[in-house]
Amino acid sequence: MLPSWVPGVAVGLVSLHLLQKLLFPYLWHDLRDLLQAMGCGLSAAVRRVRRQLPTVLGRFVTLAQEQPHKPFLIYDGRVYTYQDVDTRSNQVAQVFLHKGGLKKGDTVALLMTNEPDFIHVWFGLAKLGCVVAFLNSTIRSKSLLHCISSCEPKLLVIGADMLGTLKEILPSLQKDIDVWVVTKDSTLPSVHTLLDKLEGASEDPVPVHLHCDNDLKSSVLYIFTSGTTGLPKAAVITNLQVLNAAGGLWAFGATKNDILYITLPLYHSSAALVGICGCIELGATCVLRKKFSASNFWNDCKKYNVTLIQYIGELCRYLCNQPVKEGEKDHKVRLAIGNGIRSDVWREFLDRFGNIKICEFYGTTEGNISFLNHAGKIGAVGRTNFFHKLFSPSDLIKYNFQKDEPFRNKHGWCEKVKKGEAGLLISKVNTKNPFFGYAGNERETEKKLLHDVFKKGDLYLNSGDLMVQDQENFLYFWDRIGDTFRWKGENVSTAEVSDVVGMLDFVQDANVYGVLVPGNDGNDRNFETTKISAGGMGLHFMKLWEKKHNGGRLGYFQPMEGKWSTFKMRMEENALTHTDM
């Protein structure tokens, strides 16, 4: 006989469970948010107690000792263990220490595409305490030279497949920048080669005191972002930001037994920080591909027993646009982590490729806030809650579209929008949530900040993104303010495109703006120009294609034939609302 109190307790527990589901349906997701926020600080504290560097690099060195023979990287069928990558990066560090003249605190610009040596060079430079600037391999000419000069590097390291780009910029490159190419030999003048020097380099680790600082607010990377205006800016990435991003895989339930497939470019924060660094935090394995291939994607997943994939919205759409094949659900992928997937593509992706949990998140390279969609709510980029606001305060405020700035009332304060209305996402800047800005660009750094928002003396970061919050506190991306458009995962500055188009001798003036392209993701746009011709000569786009694409100035430029008209309307100052949730 059961005690008389057992049925009562059972009924009470069931009632509590039902009450929690009714009143607090996302309680466990909210608690996971809390654990994630606490996780990074706890991890760093534990490493300090163990006298380990509280950084991702420190974690990697430890793993190379604890699990030396576990595969860390798989590339083109070849396996690189944790020990292999550690040893190779030691050699890179030794070469640049003794033959490159580098010292702690120097900046090195890295122009490479996806390959193992990208990681070897990155980690080797980190072991010397250098700040590594990831250069976008798709940009060319003026934009590339601007990026290089803005981060003031002592060295420029270029991959073997980027030599054509090097030849183009070499005559205009600053003379005090040493150039190294990841080859065994080179016919280019005043260029150093790396691979031949690695052959005889010592495999011994450099002294630990040379590694990047233990200080979580020390700069370790520069990652370029187009932002909202002008040429790319070097976002300062610190140890703290790397640790936060690296915790993303763990936050979505990934473990050390997972295998992550990375096809996104390593010069972006998603692949480098969430992907590579995320695998290191877990002690997991990553499969790296040179570049994304829709036709080979699932073949690779099956071949390497992939369990996690990274995506951007375009990637998922490309996969859905592939011809249907038998066995498309015969894989081991369980999580897809990324951002920018459209709701209709989300549904089609799940229906076609099986029971894969879509882990959508929101974050910007230079930002101090992120949101995670733990619940898998289709269309949402994340969710806010009490715990999230406690650790990372943020708000959605009214935006004045006519003045192109946040709305302020007669008292000079900003106002929050109601749920269901689109508002500008802002995040509080304080000692716990700092904003590190852009390297060597105080003007652009200051432009991102909003002072005296709700009260005198407060400080917020302007994300540049319009968002909508529903009644369950899920967040939806609405639009991006400023002069940019997004194309194939790249934020493209209209000013940058305008400058390049204006370099043509048959263009007198050019005004560039983004237009929607049918069949592409809602956030993806091409550009259209309003031009003034010189001497009666029209704007020849095929000539632009031949001169600028083949000349390597705009890697994302693609010719399109057809006729478009610009839809014109009068703007009215009404609140934007989100009705499709």
Residue range 76-104, pLDDT digits in tens:
999 999 999 999 999 999 999 999 999 99
pLDDT reading at 193 higher than 70: yes
Q: Give the residue-averaged pLDDT of 322-344.
A: 94
What pLDDT sits at residue 552? Answer: 47
pLDDT reading at 453 higher than 60: yes
**Which are the contacts of 199, defined by CB distance < 8 A and separation ≥ 6?**
none
Q: Structural domain boundaries of the chain?
A: 72-239, 367-480, 485-549
One-letter amino acid for residue 434 of the chain: P
Q: Give the residue-averaged pLDDT of 399-426.
A: 95
3-state helix/strand/coil string of 153-172: CCEEEECHHHHHHHHHHHHH
pLDDT reading at 60 higher than 80: yes
Give dist(CA 10, CA 15) in Å, integer.
9
Give dist(CA 268, CA 223) in Å, integer.
7
What pLDDT sits at residue 568? Answer: 45
The secondary structure of 87-150 as a DSSP string is HHHHHHHHHHHHTS---TT-EEEEE--SSHHHHHHHHHHHTTTPEEEEPPTTB-HHHHHHHHHH
CATH number of this structure's domain 485-549, picked from the four choices 3.40.50.1860, 1.20.1250.20, 3.40.50.720, 3.30.300.30: 3.30.300.30
pLDDT reading at 501 higher than 60: yes
Residue 479's pLDDT band (boundaries 50, 70, 90)? confident
What pLDDT sits at residue 213? Answer: 73
The secondary structure of 478-514 as a DSSP string is EEE-SSEEEETTEEEEHHHHHHHHTTSTTEEEEEEEE
* DSSP element (H, E) containing 208: none
Mean pLDDT of the chain: 84
What pLDDT sits at residue 534? Answer: 44
- Is 565 buried (19+), middle (13-18) or exposed (0-12) by CB count in 10 A? exposed
Which CATH superfamily, name and number, covers 367-480?
Answer: Luciferase; Domain 3 (2.30.38.10)
pLDDT reading at 537 higher than 50: no
Considering the domain 72-239 in this protein, what is its CATH number? 3.40.50.980
**Which are the contacts of 417, defined by CB distance < 8 A and separation ≥ 6?**
396, 397, 398, 423, 575
Q: Give the residue-averaged pLDDT of 169-195.
A: 91
Q: What is the sign of the dihedral through the CA atoms of 175, 178, 181 and 184?
A: positive
pLDDT reading at 524 higher than 50: yes
**Which are the contacts of 300, defined by CB distance < 8 A and separation ≥ 6?**
261, 287, 289, 306
pLDDT reading at 233 higher than 60: yes
The structure's pTM equals 0.81
Q: Give the residue-averaged pLDDT of 490-506.
A: 62
**Tokens standing for 272?**
């480098």
Cβ-based neighbour number of residue 292 at 10 Å: 20
Contact indicator for 332, 354 with CB cutoff of 8 Å:
no
Q: Give the residue-averaged pLDDT of 434-444.
A: 93
pLDDT reading at 575 higher than 50: yes
pLDDT reading at 178 higher than 90: yes
Torsion of CA 272, 522, 388, 431, to 10 degrees: 60
Give dist(CA 254, CA 251) in Å, integer.
7
Instruction: Find tokens 């990066």 and name the residue.
Output: 89
Nearest to 422 by CA among 362, 365, 466: 466
What pLDDT sits at residue 401? Answer: 87
The secondary structure of 444-472 as a DSSP string is HHHHTEEESSSSTT-EEEEEEEEEEE-TT
Give CA angle at 559 (553, 560), nearest 5°.
150
| Percent of all residues in the chain with a pLDDT value above 90, rounded to a whole number | 62
> Phi, psi (5° rounding) for residue 461?
-95, 130
Give dist(CA 137, CA 265) in Å, integer.
9
Nearest to 466 by CA among 451, 453, 450, 482: 482
> Phi, psi (5° rounding) for residue 121?
-70, -45
Residue 581's pLDDT band (boundaries 50, 70, 90)? very low
One-letter amino acid for residue 445 of the chain: T
The tens digit of pLDDT for each residue in 19-49 reads 545 545 566 666 666 665 555 555 555 554 4
The tens digit of pLDDT for each residue in 352-379 reads 999 999 999 999 999 999 999 988 999 9
What pLDDT sits at residue 429? Answer: 96
What pLDDT sits at residue 19? Answer: 54
Helix (H, G, I), strand (E, B) or coil at 232: coil
Q: Give the residue-averaged pLDDT of 499-516.
A: 63
Give dist(CA 534, CA 521) in Å, integer.
35
pLDDT reading at 527 higher than 90: no
Cβ-based neighbour number of residue 99 at 10 Å: 13
